[in-house]
């Protein structure tokens, strides 16, 4: 794969995502999430997705709210200090949505270990975590009904085992994560798929290697030769990347180190809308379904607002941005 030019268009992204796929979304909660690609997946009305990104942020709540998701397998779904994941909550709490979403609870350490095991192509990995927690309580297993019948789900959540090599401690064996598709947004990628990320790669390298297909959107697609200059800090080799696309502001409204900060106005509007099913539907119509292209979405966000979000390249973030939603003014 490494010799070819892998550029695709945003409109083609959904061709790589099949209904029912296990999908890893890169980044971390409200940072560097592949939002443009997620909007595209929503627009194409993908169904029965099985989200395995660890942790999940607005992209996860959005995909759930848009009805694209039947399974989530993660340590966290939320918007950090901005507010709560109302679409996820509704699916879990409301009588009328019972059975629409299977959710399997994990942790940050085990999410990391599971995707590392996936990258290593080993079926499981031991951990010293989880002991004593209801996360491994056999009677509280969100995927219980699926184990053994759904081949995208491991047959067991955990197996306890005594260490036969050293002191005999009991450790928990946990299954590898095996995403079908991995969506990542980065600052820069080569046309060969090589990915450069700063400000934290999170688990994206492991996910890219563990996944059947990996798509990377980036602020800039550059000739591959340019990335020879930064070889020591490039984080994902082109070999595991199937396609790349250039999408400036492609992580909006989440933050991208050196490029832009979180968009508090987006979170404020989204959080209000997502509290209610009808308003969520209107929000999706307004910001996703009605948009011909992501550039129309950005046009609607507006130049002034995007300017307000710009990061100071020395700091990596925007030191002047207001982040408190309850006292947030308009874009001036």
Partner 1 sequence: MNVEEQAPDKTGKNKTSYSQLEMMVIASSRLLEDQERVLVGTGLPLVGAGLAKKTHAKDMVVIMEAVAFDSNPQSLPFCVADARAVYKTRWVPTAAEVMGHFLQGGRIDVGYLGGAQVDQYGNLNSTCIGDYYSPTKRFEGSGGASDIAALAKKTIIIMAHEKKRFVETVDYITSTGWKCRSYDGKSLVYRWELGLDGGPFAVVSTMGVMKFDANTHKMYVDYYYADLGVTLGEIINATGFDIDTSRAKPMEPPTLLELELLRTKVDPEGIYMKY
Query: Which residues, 193 to 232, sit near partner 1 by CB under 8 A?
Result: 194, 198-203, 205-206, 209, 224, 227-228, 231-232
Rounded to an integer, what distance in angstroms lies between the CA atom of residue 95 and that of residue 99?
A: 9
If one asks whether residue 329 binds partner 1 (CB under 8 A), the answer comes out as: no
Does residue 191 have a cis peptide bond before it, meaning omega lies within 30 degrees of 0? no
Task: Considering the complex, state which of residue 30 and residue 70 has its C-beta at the smaller distance from partner 1.
Answer: 30
209: enclosing H helix or E strand: helix 204-210
Q: Decide: is 171 part of the binding site for a copy of itself (CB under 8 A).
A: yes
SS3 88: helix
Decide whether 152 or 293 has the Cβ nearer to a copy of itself. 152
Round the CA-based radius of gyration of the chain to a whole number and report it. Answer: 20
According to CB under 8 A, which one of 44, 45, 47, 155 is a site residue for a copy of itself?
Answer: 155
**DSSP reduced 3-state for 18:** coil
- The CA–CA distances, whole Å, from 120 to 1, 2, 147, 208, 277 equal 20, 20, 23, 12, 41
Contact flag: residue 181 with partner 1 (CB under 8 A): no
**Nearest CA among 216, 278, 263 for reference residue 58:** 263
Q: Which does 154 bind (CB under 5 to 8 A by kind): partner 1, a copy of itself, none?
A: a copy of itself
Distance (Å, whole) CA 252 – CA 35: 6
126 sits near a copy of itself (criterion: CB under 8 A): yes
Q: Which does 319 bind (CB under 5 to 8 A by kind): partner 1, a copy of itself, none?
A: partner 1
Interacting residue with a copy of itself among 42, 113, 227, 241 (CB under 8 A): 113
Q: Does 163 bind a copy of itself (CB under 8 A)?
A: yes
Selected from 92, 159, 222, 325, the binder of a copy of itself by CB under 8 A is 159
Q: Is 159 in the site for partner 1 (CB under 8 A)?
A: no
Contact between 69 and partner 1 by CB under 8 A: the answer reads: no
């Amino acid at each position: 794969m490494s010799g070819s030019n892998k550029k695709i268009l945003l409109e083609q992204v959904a061709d790589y995502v099949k209904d029912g796929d296990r999908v890893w979304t890169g980044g971390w909660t409200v940072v560097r999430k592949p939002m443009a690609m997620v909007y595209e997946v929503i627009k194409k009305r993908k169904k029965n997705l099985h989200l395995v990104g660890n942790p999940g942020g607005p992209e996860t709540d959005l995909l759930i709210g848009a009805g694209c998701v039947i399974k989530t397998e993660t340590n966290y779904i939320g918007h950090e200090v901005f507010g709560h994941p109302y679409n996820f909550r509704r699916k879990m709490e409301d009588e009328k949505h019972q059975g629409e979403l299977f959710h399997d609870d994990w942790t940050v350490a085990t999410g990391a270990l599971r995707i590392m095991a996936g990258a290593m192509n080993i079926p499981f990995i031991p951990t010293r975590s989880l002991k004593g927690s209801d996360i491994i309580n056999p009677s509280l297993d969100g995927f219980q009904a699926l184990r053994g019948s759904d081949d995208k789900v491991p047959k067991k959540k955990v197996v306890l085992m005594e260490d036969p090599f050293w002191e005999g401690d009991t450790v928990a064996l946990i299954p590898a994560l095996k995403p079908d598709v991995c969506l990542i947004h980065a600052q820069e990628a080569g046309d060969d798929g090589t990915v450069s990320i700063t400000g934290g790669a999170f688990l994206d390298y492991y996910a890219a290697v563990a996944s059947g297909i990996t798509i990377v959107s980036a602020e800039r697609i550059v000739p591959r030769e340019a990335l020879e200059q930064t070889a020591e800090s490039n984080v994902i080799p082109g070999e595991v990347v199937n396609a790349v696309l250039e999408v400036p502001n492609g992580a909006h409204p989440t933050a991208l180190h050196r490029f832009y900060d979180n968009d508090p106005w987006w979170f404020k509007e989204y959080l209000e809308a997502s509290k209610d099913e009808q308003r969520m539907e209107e929000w999706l119509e307004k910001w996703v379904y009605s948009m011909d292209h992501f550039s129309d979405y950005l046009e609607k966000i507006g130049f002034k607002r995007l300017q307000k979000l710009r990061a100071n390249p020395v700091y990596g973030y925007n030191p002047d941005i207001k982040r408190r939603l309850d006292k947030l003014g308009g874009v001036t």
